[in-house]
Each structure stands twice: as structure tokens, then as C-alpha cells.
Amino acid sequence: TTTASTAAGSAAAASSGEVLWEVIGGVDKGGIMVRAGRELKSTQLDQKLSTGAVVRQLELVGDRLRYRIHDGTGPNEGWVSIKITGKDLMRRL
């Protein structure tokens, strides 16, 4: 029954409207840039969000995503671009 309860927990999380994204960009750069605010000119955080990290969507405005980290390395929260110059940086799971 452990498997059933785990599956039920995952289904409950999915049905609660939680949206997860995976970082697919920044492979050759050690991850993608994170900013403190939605604006592209807001303060850039020191640490990048690692390629392969999974984040929870808190807010999505155009191509800008405010996230909270779920799995992986990088700032716990921040704003990232989901694509840049036509190249996807994030993939919705």
C-alpha cells in the first residue's frame, strides 16, 4: 500500500494546481541566470539555477517565471526566463 499512497500523494499534488518546470538550458554555462525581480534589469543573483533542476511555478508572466526550488541546486527562489531568443531554457513537466 506504500506505492498506492505515494501515487495518490503525487496525484493530489498534481491536481492541486502545482506546476513543475525543469531547467533544460545553460548546459554549457553551469545553469541559467536567476534574478531577484521580474524585470530583466533587476539584480542578478550570484548563483545560477542548475541544468536539470526542477522548480515549482509561483507566478508566470509572459516568458518570466517566478519559482521555488523543488530539486537541484541554485537559489531557493527567484525569477528566470523560460526562453531566450527563441531557445527554450525551461520545460514544463
Pairwise CA distance, residues 33 & 80, whole Å: 7
The string of pLDDT tens digits covering residues 49-84 is 999 999 999 999 999 999 999 999 999 999 999 999
SS3 content of the chain, % helix, strand, coil (to 5): 15, 40, 45
Choice among 7-21, 42-56, 74-88 with the minimum mean pLDDT: 7-21
The pTM (predicted TM-score) of the whole model is: 0.81
The predicted pLDDT at position 17 comes to: 81
Label residue 90 by pLDDT band (50, 70, 90). very high
